[in-house]
């Protein structure tokens, strides 16, 4: 005995509603921080949890982490407190060369 199911495609409205409901729990945040050139290791930059409106526990539960584009990891995030700190001194010329502005 063979069981066949026929699945009807969703209407555009129903598909959009499902997509909206799935994405409603997601949110992306962008934050910019300014770090003085050649700041020492351990220099406090910001509390990310506070800036995103989260508790440190929520930040830790979401397993927040920093992703670096280069080889060096210049900043470090304490998941337990939400503090963002300088891990390694940054040299503007090394990072940006002569380009202005250096972001």
Which own/partner pairs from 48-54 qualify as long-range (CB within 8 Å, at least 24 positions apart)? 48/77, 48/82, 48/83, 48/84, 49/81, 49/82, 50/82, 54/82
- For the chain, domains (ranges, CATH) are 38-102 (2.60.40.60)
Per residue in 35-71, pLDDT (tens digit) is: 887 889 999 999 988 988 888 888 888 888 888 777 8
What is the model's pTM? 0.64
Cβ 47 vs Cβ 81: under 8 Å? yes
């Amino acid at each position: 005995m063979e069981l066949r199911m026929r699945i009807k495609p969703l209407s555009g409205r129903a598909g959009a509603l499902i997509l909206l409901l799935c994405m409603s729990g997601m949110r992306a945040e962008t934050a910019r921080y300014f770090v003085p050139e050649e700041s020492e290791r351990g220099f406090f930059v910001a509390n990310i949890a506070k800036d995103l409106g989260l508790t440190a526990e929520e930040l830790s539960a979401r397993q927040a982490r920093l992703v670096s584009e280069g080889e060096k990891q210049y900043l470090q995030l304490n998941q337990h407190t939400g503090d963002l700190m300088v891990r390694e001194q940054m040299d503007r010329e090394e990072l940006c060369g002569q380009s202005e502005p250096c972001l």
